[in-house]
Amino acid sequence: MIAFITGLLAVAWLPSLLYTPLLLTFAFLAMLRQRWRRLAILLSLGVLFGSIWGAWQLNHRLPDRFARTDVNLVGIIDQLPRLQGRRQSFTLRIISIDSADEALLHLRRLSLSHYDAHDLLKAGDRIKVRVRLFPPRGLSNPYAFDSERRFLTESIDARGYVRSLDSIESSGITLPGLRQRLSMLLDQYFDERVSVTLRALVLGDRSGLSPEQWRLLSETGTAHLLVVSGVHIAVMAGLGVLATRTLGLLLLWGGGSSRDVRRAGLLLTLLLACAYALLAGMGLPVQRALIMVAVFIGAEWWLRPVTAWQRWRIALLGVCLLQPLAVIEPGAWLSFGAVALLIWISQQGTRLGGLLSRWWGVQGRLFIGMMPISALLFHQLGFLAPLVNFVALPAVSLLVMALPVLLPLVLLGVQWPADLLSWVILAFWQGVTLSREGLGLYLALPDIEPLAMLLAIVAVLWWLLPLPLRWRWLSIFMLFPMLATEANRPPEGTFVATLFDVGQGLAVLIETSEGRIIYDTGPGYSGGGSAFDYAVAPALKARRLSTIEQVVISHGDSDHSGGFGALRREYVYQQLILGQPLQGVAGGINCADHPQVTLGGVRFRYLQSSMETLSNDNAHSCVLIVESRHCVLVIPGDLEMQGEMDLMRRYDLPRTDWLVAGHHGSKTSSSAAWLDALQPTAVLFSRGAFNRFGHPAAEVVERVSQRGALIHDTASDGALLLEAGEECRTSAWRQRKKRYWTAG
pLDDT at 384: 77
Averaged pLDDT of the chain: 88
pLDDT at 615: 77
Are residue 474 and residue 417 in the same domain, yes or no?
no
pLDDT at 350: 56
pLDDT at 349: 64
Which DSSP state fits 473?
A: G
Select from 41, 60, 79 the last residue of a domain: 60
Domain assignment of residue 740, yes or no: no
pLDDT at 254: 63
Between CA 573 and CA 585 the distance in angstroms is 13
Are residue 519 and residue 662 in the same domain, yes or no?
yes
Between CA 584 and CA 592 the distance in angstroms is 21
Which DSSP state fits 536?
A: I
| Residues 572 and 593: beta-carbon distance below 8 Å | no
DSSP conformation letters of 552-612 = EE--S-HHHHTTHHHHHHH-EEEEEEESS--TT--SPEEGGGPPPEEETTEEEEEE---GG
Domain assignment of residue 181, yes or no: no
Are residue 92 and residue 150 in the same domain, yes or no?
yes
Are residue 582 and residue 472 in the same domain, yes or no?
no
Q: Taking residues 42-47, report their average pLDDT.
A: 94
Alpha carbon of residue 188 to chain centroid: 30
pLDDT at 268: 81
| Residues 530 and 562: beta-carbon distance below 8 Å | yes
- Count of domains observed in the chain: 5
Q: What is the pLDDT of residues 66-123, one digit of tens each?
A: 999 999 999 999 999 998 878 899 999 999 999 999 999 999 999 999 988 778 899 9
Q: Per-residue pLDDT for 684 more than 60?
A: yes
Between CA 239 and CA 156 the distance in angstroms is 36
Convert 472-481 to b/e letters by CB count within 10 Å (16 or more is b).
Answer: beebeebbeb
Q: Taking residues 678-696, report their average pLDDT.
A: 95
Are residue 423 and residue 455 in the same domain, yes or no?
no
Are residue 109 and residue 155 in the same domain, yes or no?
yes
Q: What is the pLDDT of residues 477-522, one digit of tens each?
A: 888 889 888 888 999 999 999 999 999 999 999 999 999 999 999 9
Q: Taking residues 578-594, report their average pLDDT.
A: 89
pLDDT at 439: 64
pLDDT at 656: 96
Domain assignment of residue 185, yes or no: no
601 in the Ramachandran plot: left (φ > 0), alpha (ψ -120 to 50) or beta?
Answer: left
pLDDT at 218: 83
Are residue 630 and residue 708 in the same domain, yes or no?
yes
Are residue 307 and residue 418 in the same domain, yes or no?
yes
How many percent of the chain have pLDDT more than 90? 53
H-type helices in 61-125, by residue range? Answer: 102-105
pLDDT at 33: 84
Between CA 622 and CA 642 the distance in angstroms is 14
- 3-class secondary structure, 520: strand
Are residue 404 and residue 269 in the same domain, yes or no?
yes
For residue 696, is the peptide bond before it cis, meaning its omega torsion is within 30 degrees of 0? yes
Q: Per-residue pLDDT for 353 more than 60?
A: no
Q: What is the pLDDT of residues 277-290, one digit of tens each?
A: 888 888 767 777 78
Are residue 429 and residue 408 in the same domain, yes or no?
yes
Q: What is the pLDDT of residues 395-427, one digit of tens each?
A: 888 888 888 889 989 988 899 999 999 999 999
| Residues 11 and 327: beta-carbon distance below 8 Å | no
Instruction: Name the residue range of residue 124's domain.
Output: 65-172
Length of the chain: 744
pLDDT at 34: 83
pLDDT at 744: 63
Select from 11, 36, 60 the last residue of a domain: 60
Are residue 531 and residue 602 in the same domain, yes or no?
yes
pLDDT at 733: 96
pLDDT at 156: 95
Domain assignment of residue 318, yes or no: yes
- Give the residue, 696 or 288, on which the prediction is more confident: 696
Q: Per-residue pLDDT for 232 more than 70?
A: yes
Domain assignment of residue 294, yes or no: yes
Select from 36, 60, 84 the last residue of a domain: 60
Q: Please report, for residues 147, 148, 344, 443, 743, the alpha-carbon distance to residue 138 in angstroms, rounded to integers and kept in the order given.
A: 6, 6, 39, 30, 8
Domain assignment of residue 167, yes or no: yes
- 3-class secondary structure, 195: helix
